[in-house]
Amino acid sequence: MSAESFRPMAHGDSVPRAEIPRLGITDFREAVIQAVGAGQRLAALFGRPAGGGAIEALAILADDLNGMLSAGAAMIEERYPALTPGCPQAHWFERELAEQWAVTPEGHPWLKPIRFHTPYRPGDAPWSGGKAAGPMQPGVTDYFRVEGEEVHEVAVGPVHAGIIEPGHFRFQCHGEKVFHLEIELGYQHRGIERSLCGGPDKKTIHYMETAAGDTTIGHATAYCHALESLGGVRVPARAQVLRGIALELERLANHTGDLGALAGDVGFLPTASFCGRIRGDWLNLTAALCGNRFGRGLVLPGGVGCDLDAPGVENFKRRLDALERDLAGAVSLLWSTSSVMARLEETGHVSREDAESIGLVGPAARACGIERDVRHDFPSGIFRYSHIPLSTWQSGDVFARAFVRWTECRHSIAFIRGQLDMLPEGDVASGPASRLEPDALAVSMVEGWRGEICHAALTDSEGRLEHYKIVDPSFHNWFGLALSLRNQQISDFPLCNKSFNLSYCGHDL
């Protein structure tokens, strides 16, 4: 059975749920493994209740080369043959399936919770040992162990210094050398996806804006694209441009902050200090656009909630020019300082082969030489008409992940300047749809600053949201961080961690 048995769909379109093929689990498994082996990616894999206590697994495959998506489904029993041995990209997804729906993917190499919550349906999670299902506490499961003389464990977190979110990191070490890092998350699981069922309503957009608070524009845009597809809503050209500007401002603020934090992790204070201030200025520029530094209230179904007048555009350009000069000066100090480069280069390496195998996305993938970017492969909105060059590097180390961020900053600034020069006239909103298409599936993807954001919305017979799946880029990339620590010094962990800068809350949905 090949992936051709899946239902093809163009990005930004909705399809009737009746047209999504429901395969036997053996054919479904084979189709996913063959598709990924042929160069496609597993953008999403999730379960949903299908009535009578049955669970349906739905897979979304992304064909980057041809810019197409495809969807297929299968009914899964309490035990089914795991996809992960043939498709490592399914590793995290199948752990989620097991936890949420009390099913066991047989043959999964390391089956354990990822969020520590009671299954959504009656039954025990596969690691509960037959005990009655109940609230689970992080830290109660086994950790991978490396045996040998002088091998020891180092545990970090979940409580960290400062304001960092909770996460536990367990290192298997020999002296200072890390053999393996195991990452345990789920300490603040908020149940956002479940709260979306029955919507959309007044709260829905706020859930989206706070799914990962530093990615307000990215998640809100993905959600709005899905609703606009289901509602047949056309977004005005001016609103599309303003959304694109806001998305790139979000990228600039976070990339700038990351470059400064990387400088701080190697004790290089000039760039750390400058970038801390410049990040705040990017956020202030977002506030000049919509009144909120993180962009809340800007992206709404049907358009945007604010506009720029002519004086506002000119003010925007002046501030953009000043920030470009400041950022270039601050970051150039990194590349011209040999002690900094000695710490960044050849630290935290992830090979292209491993990056492809586990399905890395965003700057982490592009730093391994992979040309993967939703704005290029699955363009929507303004990115269908105005293209941003891909930023890649080959070495897959901390330097590569930093340098990709810097080149992306330069491209984002050029994009914003070009859009301000050609800002179209017209309305900024067409209003939300009066009713969503019933019994349909819509999949939307946005290139957030961390990478690919994927939202999948399924409606019921009344056009309400029956099931909603959010895949934050961090979901794909956490295991990449674990790989980057293999054979590294444990003191390199803060540097590697910051070079990925993944979201805890975006994972703990």
Q: What is the pLDDT of residues 299-332, one digit of tens each?
A: 999 999 999 999 999 999 999 999 999 999 999 9
pLDDT tens for residues 255-272?
999 999 999 999 999 999
Q: What is the predicted pLDDT for the residue at 133?
A: 38
Are the C-beta atoms of residues 172 and 492 closer than 8 Å to each other? no
Domain end: 141, 168, 184, which one?
184
Angle at alpha carbon of residue 294, lines to 289 and 299, rounded to 5°: 65
> 16: how many CB neighbours lie within 10 A of its CB?
12
Domain that holds residue 410: 192-299+307-500
**172 and 222 together in one domain:** no
Q: What is the predicted pLDDT for the residue at 366?
A: 98
In whole numbers, what is the pLDDT of the chain averaged over residues? 93
Q: SS3 breakdown of the chain: % helix, strand, coil, rounded to 5?
A: 40, 20, 40
The count of structural domains within the chain is 3
Alpha helix positions (H), 373-472: 374-377, 398-421
- Whether 125 is covered by a domain: the verdict is no
Task: Say which CATH number the domain at 483 has.
Answer: 1.10.645.10
Tokens 């600053």 belong to residue? 449
- Residue among 79, 83, 74 nearest 109 (CA): 83
Domain end: 47, 78, 106, which one?
106
Are the C-beta atoms of residues 133 and 125 closer than 8 Å to each other? yes
**165 and 204 together in one domain:** no
Q: What is the predicted pLDDT for the residue at 139?
A: 45
Give 271-329 as a DSSP string.
Answer: HHHHHHHHHHHHHHHHHHHHS-TT-TTTEETTEES----HHHHHHHHHHHHHHHHHHHH
- Residue among 33, 44, 89 nearest 70 (CA): 44
**78 and 165 together in one domain:** no
**170 and 265 together in one domain:** no
**231 and 312 together in one domain:** yes
Structure tokens at 69: 């998506």
**294 and 352 together in one domain:** yes
Q: What is the predicted pLDDT for the residue at 72?
A: 97
Q: What is the predicted pLDDT for the residue at 475?
A: 97
Q: What is the predicted pLDDT for the residue at 144?
A: 81
Tokens 């597809």 belong to residue? 229
Report whether the peptide linkage leading into residue 200 is cis, meaning its omega lies within 30 degrees of zero.
yes
Residues 42 and 457: their CA atoms lie apart, in Å, by 17
Give 194-237 as a DSSP string.
Answer: HHTTT--STTHHHHHHTTTGGGHHHHHHHHHHHHHHHHTPPPPH
- Whether 121 is covered by a domain: the verdict is no
- Whether 128 is covered by a domain: the verdict is no
Structure tokens at 380: 């929507």
Phi/psi for 179 (5° steps) reads -85, -40
pLDDT of 182 above 70: yes
E strand or H helix at 238, and its extent? Answer: helix 237-265
